[in-house]
Structure formats: C-alpha cells, structure tokens
Amino acid sequence: MKNRPMRLQKGDTIGIIAPSSPPNLESLQHSLTFLEGLGLHYKFGPSVENTHGYLAGTDEERLNDLHAMFADPTIAGIICAGGGYGSARYTDKIDFQLLANNPKILWGYSDITFLHTAIGKYSNFITFHGPMLASDVGRHTFQEKSGQMFKQLFQPMELQYTEDYSPLETMVAGVAKGEITGGNLSLLSNGLGTEFEVDTKGKLLLIEDVDEEPYRIDCMLNQLRQAGKLQDAAGIIVGDFSNTEPKKRKVSLNLEEVLTHYLGALNVPVVKGFKIGHCEPHFAIPLGAEAILNANDKTLTILPGVQ
C-alpha cells in the first residue's frame, strides 16, 4: 500500500521544475494564470529556464531542483513544466529517503514516467500522471475537462472513468483490482533490466505513447512480454496512442493489430480507449492508488490519491 501525500489547500505554494527537456517558456508563462485560478502560489526551480542541449540544464542542476523542492517545507506540491527526455539520466542519484521523508504531490507524465516508477518503488508514495504546465496547461488546446482533474489534489476523491468521458473497448473481459502503475510505454521499456524497472505483479498496468509507429510499439510491447510484465499484470489499461500512423513502410500492421496481438490473448481484463496520455482531454490519475478495472462494464474506479 503506497502512502498518500497531503492534499493541497488554497494559498499553498507549488514548486515548478523541468526534470527533462527545456519547456516552452511562453507556454509556461501562460499556464501560471491557471495556477492562480486554483488559488495557488508558485516557485520556479533555478534550472527551469536553463538549456543544456536537449536538456533543461545539466543532470546535477535538474536533480538539485527535484531535491530542493521536496526538502523545502514551504512547498506543498510539485508540478512539472514538461517532459521530453532526460529524467532517467539522474534517477540513480536521487535521494529516495529524502523524498520518502517528505512525501508531496508530484504531477507530470511522459518522460516523468521514469520518476513515477522509481519514486513509487523506492519512496513508496503515490504520484500523479497528469497534464503539465508548458506542455499542456499553457497551450490553447488545453480543455476545461483536463483542468477539472486538478480538483483531486485539493480533496480526497474517488475517480470514476466511464464511457461518458470517452468511448471504451473491451479487449478481454473480466474484473481486476490492484495498484495502478505504468505510464509512457517508451519509458517503461527503457527501464527494463535496470533497478527502476516497472513492477507489474498483481497491478493494473497503464500504457500510452505518442509519435511511435506500429512497429516501434510492437517492439516495446514485445520487450515487456518477454520480460514477463504483461503476463504478471492483473489488468491492462490502454491509454491514448496518438500519431501512430506508419511512415517508414508502405505496408504495415496497424496499431489495432499490434495491440490485439500482445494484449488480446492475455488472461486478464484489458480495456482500451482511455483518454490518458498525450491527448485532450487528459484524464489525470494517481499512480500507486488502488483501483478496479471492470472490463465487463467498461469502467475504471480509482481510490483517492491524497489524504
């Protein structure tokens, strides 16, 4: 059972960090109005505006920002400016005991998947897979339904995903209960064979990705299959896979064929169509929280992520 971080209250200060690539600063600036509308103050990590090639500052600078925000008693929660690439470069240097001693809301997705998995494993508290400031909130495409998901940070609330939110498809029937784990498929496959690889045993595995062709998704799912991660899961939550059209080959399997090949024969509930991932609207969820996936009724019920 993962620990739940404390809820936010109006007037709290949240820390803004860029754990991976440099965020779009104009979009980040636009997102601050949304935070103010939630009644929150904010504080930037020193390296948020830094650039080190395709990284938002050096590994040491980004790691220092992460540590400083967790250690600072005036910071009530942490929201990532964006993803991209780079959080895995310093994950082995994170002081997980520092984080465990100061459990706080950590909110982000995409490349942040590597941090979610590591923190859940070694600091044992719930983190949040949700839209980020520069990547999502500050853009004109950001939808009110996505913004509503931040309410779960201010009071413990059970989340219920039904077909009222988006059409869902049952790939394998059944009902399963367990902690939600996972996130971005690329990052999950990258972590295999490391001390930060995802633990799926008895858990509900979320997978989502963007800008990956079917053969790449095939490769990553096959890697998870051969590592036993698909077979170990209690159920599979298939999130959003956007921009997956074949480009390199004129003749290709499509995404549906790939997903069916790897997930359709599993002996656990599998449901696809969840608007979780690089999409709008974006249904934000607490990773590490207990949930029930009912593939018969096509519902996902998630217990609160905060206390």
Residue 54 CB burial class (10 angstroms; 0-12, 13-18, ≥19): exposed
Beta bridge partners of 55: 52
CA angle, residues 23, 24, 29, in degrees to nearest 5: 105
Residue 252 CB burial class (10 angstroms; 0-12, 13-18, ≥19): middle
Distances (CA, A) of 242 to 144, 264, 280: 20, 20, 11
Of 133, 182, 128, the C-alpha closest to 151 is 128
Mode of pairing for the β-strands spanning 75-80 and 270-272: unpaired
Which distant-in-sequence residues (6+ apart) come within 8 Å of 79 by Cβ?
Answer: 14, 15, 16, 35, 105, 107, 108, 132, 133
Beta bridge partners of 299: 294
User: Is the previous residue joined to 103 through a cis bond, with omega within 30 degrees of 0?
Assistant: no
Mode of pairing for the β-strands spanning 270-272 and 41-44: unpaired
Which residues are marked as active site?
110, 208, 278
Mapped onto helix, strand or coil, the DSSP state of residue 178 is: strand
How far is 87 from 114, CA to CA, in rounded Å?
7
Upper half-sphere CA count for residue 293 (Cβ side, 13 Å)? 31
Which distant-in-sequence residues (6+ apart) come within 8 Å of 283 by Cβ?
Answer: 149, 159, 161, 165, 274, 275, 276
